[in-house]
Amino acid sequence: MSARFGEVMTAMVTPFKKDFALDVEAVPPLVDHLIEHGSEGLIVCGTTGESPTLSHDEKLTLFETVAQSAGDRAKVIAGTGTNNTAESITLTKEACELGVDACLLVTPYYSKPPQSGLLAHFRAIADASTAPVIVYDIPGRTGRRIERSTMIELARHERIVGDKDAVGDAGETARLRSELDAEGLQDFELISGDDALVLPHIGAGVTSIISVCSHLVGPQIKQIFSAYSDGKVDEARRIFLELQPLFQTIMGGASPIPVKAALNMIGVEVGPPRLPLVEATDAEKKVIRAALESSGLV
């Protein structure tokens, strides 16, 4: 099965100015950087993009700016999911009108709906969308897991084409892949949502990743996929293990605090995070810089 939106997609940070205003002028250079460093898809206004702090209009501005900047060089996936179904439908429709390639729908957070509520929520948004949609299962942030039986039912919808799997259990990913295949749903794509599990996830059946660390090491993450696909499993493992220290450093704090600090250090200016997130401390920056130095990035 091929990766519909590319093997390496980046959960793009949102650039802000020092006064925390949206830095629209910094978006095209960031898009260029990501595409030049292996990103085949760009996720806009996801968790890493600090979506909880963005207004509706700011999200639309980002969708449009990224789509125009990327052109036909990369797929653009708009993060349009919220815990408000009506708001998600409106934002999804508007994103589709702006020409995005797909929409990413996170599990409704805080509300903790039952599985029947999840089915109704995702189906309602997919029914209203003119673009493919990917559901995003990240129970550590939302407080609610999309159960395997629910995911299989969602996979039957003609526009629900994939799952960003951030459950943190490659064994569970493998079980889901097996059950999807048994139901004849081989075309439903499983996408890794965890840099530190990308190789176990590939073994479990994912075809791509939505990565944070691809801001920094996109080509190396792409090499993991390529090596594995070519049967060079030892080579894929070597690259994967070499990247683990960086993965642990960048994903070890509240995202996107570490990756924003790292990008600023390598000369890709993305500014600070917005409250309630704060900039990395001096001690944290020292650790991040050491990880970048060890990886040959500074």
CA distance 6 to 9: 7
Report the topology of domain 8-243.
TIM Barrel (3.20.20)
Q: What percent of the chain has pLDDT over 70?
A: 100
Which conformational region is residue 169 in: left (phi greater than 0), alpha (psi within -120 to 50 degrees), or beta? beta
Pairing between β-strand 41-44 and β-strand 75-79 as defined by DSSP bridges: parallel
pTM of the model: 0.96
Amino acid identity of 194?
Answer: D
- Residues near 210 by beta carbon (within 8 Å), at least 6 away in sequence: 9, 10, 11, 41, 43, 46, 104, 164, 191, 192, 193
Residue 126 has pLDDT above 90, yes or no: yes
Active site residue ranges: 136, 164
203-258 pLDDT per residue, tens: 999 999 999 999 999 999 999 999 999 999 999 999 999 999 999 999 988 999 99
Structure tokens at 217: 């090491």
Of 113, 106, 110, nearest to 133 by C-alpha is 106
CB 153 within 8 A of CB 119: yes
